Amino acid sequence: MPRLIVRSLLALALIGCSGGKGAAATRAAAASLQGAGAPAAAHDSTAALFAKADAARIMGSPAANVWLIVISDFQCPFCKRWHDEAWAAIRKEYVETGKIRVAYVNLPLSMHRNAWPAAHAAMCAAVQGKFWELQDELFRAQKEWEDLADPLPAFEGLAKNVGADAGAMRSCVNSSVMRPLIQSDVARAENAGAQSTPTFFVGGKPLIGAQPLSAFREAIEAALAAPPSAKPAGK
């Protein structure tokens, strides 16, 4: 194996959780991730839930032309590292100031036993408008629930912490109503080339792994400085 490839694989092992599959990333595929996106639903009531959940995992001004797409797994330790070390500053400096929009895309990896239940809990909290609050709690308490045989009671406790209706979230999770939405996320993330978590697209360009805050500032500033025609348009 060429030394450069070995070094690349070692670097990825230090900054991301590998799912072992995916395709080459393209700008068109990255653009398709913008605004997340809910799958078609068989019933109007389910479609309404999808729409609420989908909208709730997007943050930022609709006027912002630059997107930060976050492809993540709630049980991935590198996703937690990025959340703990970079997310608050990015939110304060770029999202709350109206410069960029952020969309969260689920990519729960099979190596993480509770990644799918956590994704269900997050999207069910999103129906209540509490996605971002619960994602903060899920990462904060990751060590507390990652090895549980049944993590749902822990998720209910976290939901209560952020003011969500834990009973409604439990019913939503148990019904698996959000599974098609999460499956759609997985398919779209893989089509965009995500092979590990966390993977990011900043203004359509990939940024792989839990890189330092400085790398995100550099990428975001470059995207903001790009000519309007070079910026993927938001939905």
* Residue 92, domain member (yes or no): yes
pLDDT tens readout for residues 105-152: 999 999 999 999 999 999 999 999 999 999 999 999 999 999 999 999
* pLDDT computed for residue 227 by the predictor: 84
8 Å CB contact between 34 and 232: yes
pLDDT tens readout for residues 58-78: 999 999 999 999 999 999 999
Q: How confident is the model at residue 29 (pLDDT cuts 50, 70, 90)?
A: very low
* Residue 69, domain member (yes or no): yes
Q: Which carries the bigger pLDDT value, residue 31 or residue 2?
A: 31
* Residue 10, domain member (yes or no): no
Q: How confident is the model at residue 26 (pLDDT cuts 50, 70, 90)?
A: very low
**Number of structural domains the chain divides into:** 1
Q: How confident is the model at residue 8 (pLDDT cuts 50, 70, 90)?
A: very low
Measured over the CA atoms of residue 16, residue 22, residue 27 and residue 31, the dihedral's sign is negative
Q: How confident is the model at residue 3 (pLDDT cuts 50, 70, 90)?
A: very low
8 Å CB contact between 130 and 163: yes
8 Å CB contact between 120 and 155: no
- Owning domain of residue 160: 16-230
How far apart CA 32 and CA 218 sit, in angstroms, is 23
The two structure tokens encoding residue 129: 């408008």
How far apart CA 47 and CA 38 sit, in angstroms, is 8
8 Å CB contact between 54 and 184: no
* Residue 11, domain member (yes or no): no
* Residue 9, domain member (yes or no): no
The two structure tokens encoding residue 131: 């996605």
* Residue 137, domain member (yes or no): yes
* Residue 68, domain member (yes or no): yes
Give the pairing type, strands 17-18 and 100-106. unpaired
pTM: 0.83
User: Is 50 exceeded by the pLDDT of residue 4?
Assistant: no
Cβ within 8 Å of residue 2, ≥6 positions away: none
| CATH number of the domain encompassing residue 150 | 3.40.30.10
pLDDT tens readout for residues 30-53: 455 665 555 555 567 788 889 999
* Residue 143, domain member (yes or no): yes
